[in-house]
Structure 1
Amino acid sequence: MKTKTVKGNRRMNKLDLPSVFLICIFFFLAGFSASSLFSHSQKHEYDLRLRPRPRPRARLLEKSTQEKTEYHLLKAGDSGDDYVTLIPFQVLSWYPRALYFPNFASAEQCESIIEMARGGLKSSTLALRKGETEESTKGIRTSSGVFMSASEDETGILDAIEEKIAKATKIPRTHGEAFNILRYEVGQKYNSHYDAFDEAEYGPLQSQRVASFLLYLTDVPEGGETMFPYENGFNRDGNVEDCIGLRVRPRKGDALLFYSLLPNGTIDQTSAHGSCPVIKGEKWVATKWIRNQVQDD
């Protein structure tokens, strides 16, 4: 009985060795795989910590147009408004400071302004520098236009537009010149120039143009863009006749505001601008120049 038992144990030992060997290999491979996965997970997590997170885009603190808002207004002063005015705008550029106002005026208002101005158009002129003549500057500005003040408009349209411009610019309407209503036909243009005047070139000034407000009265199928060739200080050595840089296509009823002076009162060298040649259609625009002193109507 003992001998059989011993022989039986030997048979079991011979059978168990391969099984034990396979089990060891299995656990070794399983442990190695788990270790690799853990290491990869740790490395991935470490890489995520080191990788710079994308900066979220700045979000304006705006309320939905459908959300009802209650304003607790102060008592208006003698010349203030007793209501809140909302005028949407888009910043196109900081150098120069240029803002775009979609749907600033209605189509009917634009068409009425054109009809008021059409009969009085004359060839546009230039403010001449020292030594310049009309002959030497011929071809720089080829549009036609007419000056009209709000007091001349019996319909009240220019008065309403002027009041809205004052609210958009935050500059009293008494600082604005009369509207210069301009028409550009096919091929007509205005080379790059400054609306502000350099006293070294033009002589002593009683007041200075701070900003310009352009109300586009028509769509232009092709060409006629308002251009800022020196946006961000680029193209300073370029041709003033080239249509380059920031270009704003006219759209009926939309408006463009840009500032000719920096906050310190000096001329913004990036505010040079012009009108690209009209290729198709007509360009009509009502321009309001705004100064740093009260203007006579």
Structure 2
Amino acid sequence: MKGKTGKGNWNLSLILKANKLGLPSVILLCSFFFLAGFYASTFFSLVSVPDSSGARPRSRLLDSVNEEESHYNLLNSGETGDDSITSIPFQVLSWRPRALYFPNFATAEQCESIIKLAEPRLRPSTVALRPGETADNTQGIRTSSGVFISASEDKTLDFIEGKIARATMLPRIHGEAFNILRYEIGQLYKSHYDAFNPAEYGPQKSQRMASFLLYLSDVDKGGETMFPFENGLNMDGSYDFKDCIGLKVKPRKGDGLLFYSMFPNATIDPMSLHGSCPVIKGVKWVATKWIRDEEQND
């Protein structure tokens, strides 16, 4: 009758096998299993577990890593380059249109400083007029208050402008002055394009190729930036430009949104149509930087 194989017999069998393999072989095997377990545990610790929404938590990256603090063998930069690695975290929200989200792009103190600078200078916002349009027959399209402020006027805006240039790889000289906007309850901006269609607005010296929105405040309810034509939806001609549908980006203080109005071949992306949903509760502050395809002098 065979006895049950117990823990003691199992250990004994390992010892007998070890004697057959020889001590050096046993050491090699132990080293192999140790290293395999170590690297496996490291791998699984790096793979994050999706949250209830299905999205994986994203690591916060350092904005700048000094050469002395990194293990990278950095190259010598050109005269206009940086001597450190710049890592600005972002999330691709959409490829149609191309829209990217930048969490914590600015600090709360920077946002409050920009609001304090702009608030005394606000005036009712205006829109670019097509031939035949007037300020009277375009009322209600854009109901915010705003002011244009050059980055050269303020050190905080100057810093933010430089960071936008690094994030977009589009030169600062191509950017317009910041348009600082305030939307109060009920105020909105109906769907529109930032690029100007020459067929509607006439010949253009340059075009707004990209837009960067820096949200300066949280909004309790409403105020989202929306893209109703995302992925080709709602383009059958029945869409009402005041409707707040499609891809919607909730304003959060310090976060940034970059989207491109033009394709690389310099044609307007029809899916870049966007607007600002009405603010329902709270106040929305945003700093907009329009970036053109040619140098600007503001």
TM-score between both structures, scaled by the size of structure 2:
0.76
Could you say if the C-alpha distance between residues 132 and 160 of structure 1 is closer, same or farther in structure 2, counting changes exceeding 3 Å?
same
Aligned to 2:65: none
Over the residues paired in the alignment, what is the CA RMSD in angstroms?
2.0
Aligned to 2:188: 189
Aligned to 1:159: 158
Distance 2:270 2:173 in 1: 26
Aligned to 1:83: 84
Aligned to 1:224: 223
1:64 Cα deviation from its structure 2 partner = 10
Whether 1:125 and 2:108 are equivalent positions in the alignment is no
Distance 2:248 2:152 in 1: 33
Q: Which runs of 4+ in 1 moved over 6 A?
A: 62-66
| Amino acid corresponding to residue 199 of structure 2 in structure 1 | A
Contact 2:61 2:88 in 1 (8 A): no
1:114 Cα deviation from its structure 2 partner = 0.2
1:69 Cα deviation from its structure 2 partner = 5.0
The aligned runs of 1:102-181 (5 Å cut-off) are: 102-153=103-154, 156-181=155-180
Aligned to 1:266: 267
1:133 Cα deviation from its structure 2 partner = 1.1
1:176 Cα deviation from its structure 2 partner = 0.3
The aligned runs of 1:1-297 (5 Å cut-off) are: 70-153=71-154, 156-236=155-235, 237=237, 238-297=239-298
Unmatched 5+ stretches in structure 1: 1-61
1:267 Cα deviation from its structure 2 partner = 0.1
State the percentage of identical aligned residues. Answer: 69
Contact 2:61 2:87 in 1 (8 A): no
Distance 2:85 2:243 in 1: 42
1:65 Cα deviation from its structure 2 partner = 6.7
What SS does structure 2 have at the residue aligned with 1:119?
Answer: helix
| Amino acid corresponding to residue 164 of structure 2 in structure 1 | I
Aligned to 1:26: none
| Amino acid corresponding to residue 279 of structure 2 in structure 1 | V
C-alpha distance after superposition, 1:195-245 (max 9, x if no partner): 000111111111110100000000000000000000011112211100000
Distance 1:218 1:294 in 2: 30
1:63 Cα deviation from its structure 2 partner = 10
Could you say if the C-alpha distance between residues 285 and 63 of structure 1 is closer, same or farther in structure 2, counting changes exceeding 3 Å?
closer
Pick the structure with greater CA Rg.
Answer: 1
1:107 Cα deviation from its structure 2 partner = 0.2
**Which segment drifts farther, 128-137 or 173-182?**
128-137
Could you say if the C-alpha distance between residues 64 and 232 of structure 1 is closer, same or farther in structure 2, counting changes exceeding 3 Å?
closer
- Report how many aligned residue pairs link the two structures: 235
Distance 1:117 1:69 in 2: 39
What SS does structure 2 have at the residue aligned with 1:133?
Answer: coil
